Structure 1
Amino acid sequence: MAPRAHRRRVLAGLVITGAILVAGVTPAGAGDTSQPSTPRGGFVTLAATAVGARTDEGAIRVALTDHDPDGRPHVSSLETDPVTAARLLADPALDAELDGTARLLFEPTDPLFPNQWEHHVTGLPTAWDTTLGDPGVVIAVLDSGVAPHAEFGDRLLAGASFIGTDPTVDPLGHGTAVASVAAGGADNQLGGTGVCPRCSILPVQVADATGSVPWSAAANGLVWATDHGADIVNLSFGSTSPSTVLADAIAYARSRGVVVVAAAGNNGTDTPVYPAAFDGVLSAAGHASGYGRYSWSSYGDWVDVAAPGCATALQFGAFVNVCGTSFASPWTAGLAGLIASADTSRRDVEITNRLLAATVPTDYVAHGRLDATVALSGGIADVALTMSALPHRPVTVRGTYRGDVARVDLLVDGILAASDPAPTDGHWAVTWDATSAGVGPHVLTAAAVDPTGRTIPGEPARVTVFEPDAPAFGDVRPHAFYTEAVGWMVTEGITTGTSPTTFSPDAPVTRGQLATFLWRYAGRPTPATSATFTDTHPDAFYATGVDWMVAEGITTGTSPTTFSPDAPVTRGQLATFLWRLANAGVR
């Protein structure tokens, strides 16, 4: 059991990702010639699967633990107001923590699942905690046929062929692979796991043994699937020439509430491919494990989303790795199946809108890459902390969100501190009075609340609240324009002054001092290379900072051989350094 002093501080249920932007601090520069005595602030990530310490009525649940003489713990749960909860958590005489809730976690036992990056990088396992699908949700696969296999069990429905053969015979293996990506089974000890492992599959054969798909067959197959219970239809075929016949069939399917998903194509260009480019079709490009576009994937503003372009699939009785937008499309269709399974009243427009909202922006498709966690949770608030120290006064906290979010709550040390009741256009902002939290370390958490009231906490960020007049420098006036900024620099470990008692606020900054400031602000990274200037000494206080600036492309020196560390920084040089720093993505 963890020691009481540590367990009392556990913040159950604070799980956030992203970035918080804090406005209101305006740093001003000053000289420095010494190394800091304390390290600069950083981020601490608390990983937890517990959520829900706040009740629907706004009360806070606190767990209190006592031990009997035999060491047996007795835990009681108290629902109270936020002020009382904070007092209980802060009482050193109590063994108290927020009383969160856990959820059953699902992870398939299929042997290839650990290697299915396409699921892990998209948050699919977390989405499965909401649903694994519903056999009543039907995904129609218009393709080369789907061969029966234990992977599908009794979820493979009776289909139809529109090329005059048998929909359960797949001479190409393509349709079977597509079906297994969308709705392969889970926990059957066979190969990998499909996206919607409990959804049903409706095989509709529209491709012949050569892979050719007549528009007439595709159109008739789509109408038949619509009339025979399909909720979602996958079309992993395409042409650069549109077809009115198929466009009409798509319009018919959508008028009946059917979601139509199609592959964007493997041309590696922005040339539209049909049926993916038709209005009302949810088109999918292919991304790699690092989220970049596969070079072979079609792209452009006519493509809606990106999904994993490679996957583990069933083909000719074996599990193999397959690649192409033919498989990004059924991955998307499978996710649509999960959304439909979570609420079977949802139809085409609502499912499509939820998918489009559950994206992370990219530069190669219109909306972005799919995030399964957001698609099933309703939404998530992303936070990033631009500074790990905040002044002891009201500050504005900003962030972004994705998904269907009605409200964003800011929690400080697990207690609701502020809310944005109407976040818009993917952004939220609140004013937090840091004086209410007190000087010292605190944990900020953003929680997205969907229209049903469900709260999804994000990943926490730790900050330190400081007194603006904290630096004990005799030459820093209590209410000067730079006083608060000096306090921030000291708290961040960027400066310790020009002496233990002076900051020299009116002295100019040298190039060597500025290199040190910027390097410390960036978190003291190890330079990838060493500079070769003849006027910088390797043991000088600024040496590592200069090496880092050169390695990051922030400076090239005042000449090919000199840096001029003792020269003052001009305003033009400062502007250039800061612009390059920002473009380097530092902090």
Structure 2
Amino acid sequence: MLAAPNISNNSIIEAQELTSPAVLGGYVNLKGAGDQGQTSVDGDPSDFYSVALSAGEVVRLALPDDATARMRLFLYDETGTLVEESPDAAPSVALSVATAGRHYVEVRALSGAGSYRLMIGTPAALMTPAGFNPAAEFVPGEVLVRLKTAAAQQPGARSMSAFARDYGMQMLARPSGEWMRLRIADMPTTLDRLNIPTKSPGARGQGTGARANDPRQDTWRVVQGLRQQPDVAHAQPNFIRRPLFVPNDPLFPFQWHHELINLPQAWDLTTGHESVIVAVIDTGVLPGHPDLQGKLVSGYDFISDPVNAADGDGIDDDPTDPGDDPGASSFHGTHVAGIVAAAFDNGIGVAGAGGHTRIMPVRVLGRDGGTDADIARAVRWAAGLDTPNGDGTELPGASPRADIINMSLGGEGVLDQDVDVLALAVAAARDAGVIVIAAAGNNASSVPLYPAAYASVVAVGAVDAAGRRAAYSNFGFFIDVAAPGGVLNADLQPDGYADGVLSTLGSDAGGGVDYSYSYYQGTSMAAPHVAGVAALMKAARIGLTPDLTPDQFEAYLANHMITADLGSLDRDDFYGHGLIDAHRAVVAALDSPPPAVATVMPAALRLDAFEETARLDLRQAGSGTLTLTGVFVSGGAEWLMVVRTQGPGDFGQYTLSVDRTALPGGVHTGFISFVFSDQTLTVPVTIDVLPHAGASASTQYVTLLDENFLTVGQVAVAPSGGVYHFSFSDVPPGSYYLLSGSDLDDDFQLLDQGEAVGTYPTPASLISFTVSSDRTGLDFVTGFQQWPFFLPGESVAAAAVKR
């Protein structure tokens, strides 16, 4: 099949018209670069777009993970005058619009050739819809399952052990409480018993033979199947979380980050107290480090897989970090622990933010990260709650429990923020009175990372030595507060050393472990600063009532009593409620409890074209009583409805629903306002409606695959009114799959990173359908994913070709 002709947008005069918000993909190349195709001979170095933008909107350029081309972003005003030029996208870069009006956007290749993703709009409008990210890491062949309670089950319901046996799975953790961890012993048997075809959706390809099944794809299909069973309340993969940092090894004992958040002034009021305990749930700790002597309480190792643990066994009471990469180990937990509470005023090394606070080391991250099953168990234990021991017995919770939990770890995997295993554990810890703090992530993205994005967690973004948002720091509705995370490629002091965060560390480069100090950067480093400040606040309230609770800490934040404002005057998606200020925090803690304040989570919502409902949680924190005077929908959003569905009084869970019936295709935004006597909370709600009359995902190559994932037919179609019309004739009876993709780089390969992708029936799943007579209504969506680059599977990309 011949490639479709390209439409030129190589100059401002030929600029392609866009409306904001927009997400699109493109391809640029220098002459002679890239795969053989229409543009490789003469080159296509620039793409121009014309769009009306408001002040504060953002233009973001993102490259695939494996990009080799150099690209930059250029922003011009309506006269064609250059307003701003970005640095190289590596892998992303963004420009902010200062003045409203018509703008021209140029994506320019400086070397090589490659695809790109361009995202235009406000941070809220560009927010990635919640839901499962197929690129999220999880343990192949393992699932976490919670059965419905006995009251909700039908008579004769199966026991947990019978449930596992019936589906050909092995129970790895004997059931205790609400969930069980299962291993799929024989994938074909489990798929068969769930009535799922044994061919993996990732096994597509042309040729005479079927490709090998993809364990990740099959595990996800098992999860989908389990979620359809009548006695299953919840099923999910066993997601993997990883440390969130970018390490380096410069050494210099100068902690600029303490000065930035006014810790010396706070220490004039309190230097912390040894009765306050911060659990560092991480890679474990080096207990022999001289700057951690006398600072540790008993901890635990919850890594259940001996191979991942790399210490010769599974779960045990020794949280010592054996290293995660022999000869080049990160000793990430030791660095985090030192930020929280390295020995204070002892004449050596560094000082921890929490002064005389003590550390509870809890190990969950090994050589290959950590799983939700292990992390959830660790969270419960640190909070003083009994937890399954993995052998059918209960492990008593830590005594004394932690006052604060720090998790400088995270991952994108989430199915349901209310009932996922880790979400339940975090909520239980908060209910037990523990303040839970987590790093927001280092992807420079609005994609939520968990556990930070759970409503029960304080999510911490990072700033540099000048108090500006670090370029790597995640942003979005879930950010609560900012703290120093450091930047290793700058010296803003200037003091001749990189502006990373300095803390305790170790090195196993020589075989043994040498104790040291070094700089790291990341939100992993920002979160423990907040944990240390929270520990000082706890110490300041010793002997006072009430004690510092998670609700009060949230109220202090929402009332801007413990932060220095950054960004907008109120909360924003880059700094949350501002930069943590240790002095203001301790002063506030020594004073009366914070006044009552209302908070809502999430602070913004984005629903894709298939989502019809979403949830908001309205909370009251602080002392006093708030009365809700009304809930209003504005912005002309007659399509938006909201009702309270759960909770005490005016607070609790609100469910919103949307009616797209009368809406034209495109992106629509409305607002929900919760109005109190002296406070109003407004939540923007953005929805997608298909089709958009002007929408285009380039020429689409719609491909029909048989049950063996061999190509039966392929058609190239262009959009008409935002819709691609396709048909196949003379199709024999049988089972088939549908997929579609663009080919911007003309390499005759579909599903490359940066290309538009679509699968029937939804973007997250490829499910077969049966043809016995004429079929209509096989509608599905194709388009460019926002972030990160989505790839259905290596075997898919290797097999899907344009003919």
TM bucket normalised to smaller: 0.3 to 0.5
Structure 1 length-normalised TM: 0.45
Structure 2 length-normalised TM: 0.33
Structure with the higher fraction of residues in strand conformation: 2
Higher RCO by CA contacts (8 Å cutoff, separation 6 or greater): 1
